[in-house]
Amino acid sequence: MVEVFHFPHQVPDVVHRPTPRNAIALRNWLYLVAALVFAMVLVGGATRLTESGLSIVEWKPVTGVIPPLSAAEWQAAFDDYKKIPQFAQMFPDMDVDGFKAIYAWEWAHRLLGRLIGLVFAVGLAWFWLRGRIPPGYKGKLLFILALGGLEGVVGWWMVKSGLSQRVDVAQERLAIHLLIASLIFSACLWVAGGLGEPRPSHIHAGRGRLRFVSKLTLGLVFIQLGLGGLVAGLRAGRIDNTWPLMEGGFAPSVETLFRLDPWWLNLVNNEVTVQFMHRTMAYVIFVIVFLHLLDAAANATGMAARGAAILFGHVLGQIALGVAALVLVEGYWYWANTPHILLALAHQAIGVAVLAVATLQARRLHAL
């Protein structure tokens, strides 16, 4: 009787054993989801840069996958768009063909969101029902699933902010939307990094310091992405287009930085303050990553050391792109195919790449 009682408790240890086959399949699935999230962030950036984010004024999670097909349906969607302030104040001369162009970007952005949700939910159900999720991973995967659902809700909350009184979305909601997407992306890479055999690495000394600095860097990269979202939402990249000086000096005056009252409003509503914080955080990350590179080169081998070098290279390239996007800004408007839009998209893409490298480096050192 005792053996019968205990037998069911022995089965999960056999079924859920993290075999190499299970680990590789789970890891590849998470990498696929991360790649889709990366693509969605880029499409979202293009949607923002082409002023397309408010072209779909309703939220239909299921039926919205089908775009307008007939001329009458396109006209109805266009008529809905003409009711919001953005049309009257920014694009009063737009015709249906122009509307189709901006609609395509927003529709593609939402379609990618649905695809990511489908790929993750179906994959999670398949691994779960087949007993191929190792112990300790179910909660992590459910957390990522919950983040995906939250991201959809926040996305619509962001769009709603631009449908009544504004001609664009609220910058703080845009930043939150970007941060949640970044968290999903990073979480997929972090969980995937714990599956399978790690590449050979060794730390001779300073293990705790290397771990701490890698995780500190990851946290600062998240903050920098949020600041980038505020810069984008405020169009703060269109002012102070000089470097390294800003407002004629290395830093704007205190009066300029805190011209809004109460003072904390400047952190989200003052274009000069937000751009200055974005610049300053880039310098801070650069110094920390450079010191991490020297530390890892002296005290680690294998991917622990190479990962620090790769991270430094990405940060250096991202700063160069950021400066170029700032000083080469053009007076572009609407969805004209200007070179600056491509430069701004590249800056956003490398920013997410920095997050990827920082995540993998922190995860790698966490396991050593």
Between CA 64 and CA 46 the distance in angstroms is 20
Dump the DSSP string for 267-293.
Answer: HHH-HHHHHHHHHHHHHHHHHHHHHHH
**Binding-site residues from annotation:** 278, 347
**Binding-site residues from annotation for heme:** 278, 347
Whole-number Cα distances in Å, 281 to 173, 228, 275, 349, 351: 21, 10, 10, 18, 13
Angle between helical axes of 20-49 and 171-193 (0-180°, round to 10)? 160
Do 46 and 345 meet the contact criterion of CB atoms below 8 Å apart? yes
Length of the chain: 368
CA 346 to chain centre: 13
201 strand-pairing partners: 302
Between CA 214 and CA 220 the distance in angstroms is 10
SS3 252: coil
Strands (E) located in 242-349? 300-302
Between CA 296 and CA 345 the distance in angstroms is 31
302: left (phi over 0), alpha (psi -120 to 50) or beta: left
201-203 and 300-302: which strand pairing?
antiparallel
The widest CA-to-CA distance across the chain, in whole angstroms, is: 84
Do 350 and 314 meet the contact criterion of CB atoms below 8 Å apart? yes
Element (H, E) at 328: none
